[in-house]
Structure 1
């Protein structure tokens, strides 16, 4: 498992691993939420040497950003609603633990609860097909 709490400050190799792993997990999240291709983008901003930077999944109605901005609290995933991919301020901020990137179904459930985005994986195959 990736050590999300290991600081990226002044550690280029850790920052590179952090961004690569976060991008991979956000791609898994998009698949878990069954987001249609073209309805979202994943982008990375490495920031300066003293910070982790951010990795963002920006959907047409949800904005999910991963960073080490809440290390002291253990939080590092920002989830909020938005109105399109040009909306960078969106709805109210909600934060969950960075460690949720190791449990994509739980993270997807949090995203659905906060934003209403994504199909509920608990629906039966029959109901999804309808």
Structure 2
């Protein structure tokens, strides 16, 4: 999937921005996460949600599956995607080592290397 449009939107500061820009960020992020869920084979078991939050931040868009949790946001560290294993859709954390936070860039989301990490966490091999 081409992530150029999302990368372009995220290259701009999404805090204190025009609502149109923030809406574009949330819309493009949902498209990316929907395609990712399809590739991982978890589109029927996951929920994709959006929290626009307040004006001072980008908000976040999340994919929450039975065993994987992925969030797109403008984080302070420059990484744009947080992901981790989780125990269920009712809980976004894991009691196992799979639950520690990991990060990647939007541009790496659909690389074979990153997809293999996601597949391992989502128990799809």
TM-score, normalization by structure 1: 0.77
Q: Report the structure number with the largest CA radius of gyration.
A: 1
Q: Could you tell me how far apart the structure 1 residues matched to 2:111 and 2:51 are?
A: 22
Change (3 A) 1:36 1:54: closer
The Cα offsets for residues 35-92 of structure 1, whole Å up to 9 and x where unpaired, read as 151x11000000100100000000000000110013xx43011110111111123310
Q: Which has the higher strand share?
A: 1
Secondary structure of 1:63 counterpart: strand
Given the alignment, which residue of 72, 79, 89 partners 1:75? 79
Runs (4+) off by over 4 Å: 104-107
Stretches of structure 2 that go unaligned for 5 or more consecutive residues are: none
The Cα offsets for residues 72-129 of structure 1, whole Å up to 9 and x where unpaired, read as x43011110111111123310001113335x36554233124x15334xxxxxxxxxx
Tell me how many residue pairs correspond in the alignment.
114
Given the alignment, which residue of 93, 103, 108 partners 1:95? 103
Residue of structure 1 equivalent to 2:118 = 111
**Aligned partners of 1:25 and 1:104 also within 8 Å:** no
Residue of structure 2 equivalent to 1:51 = 57
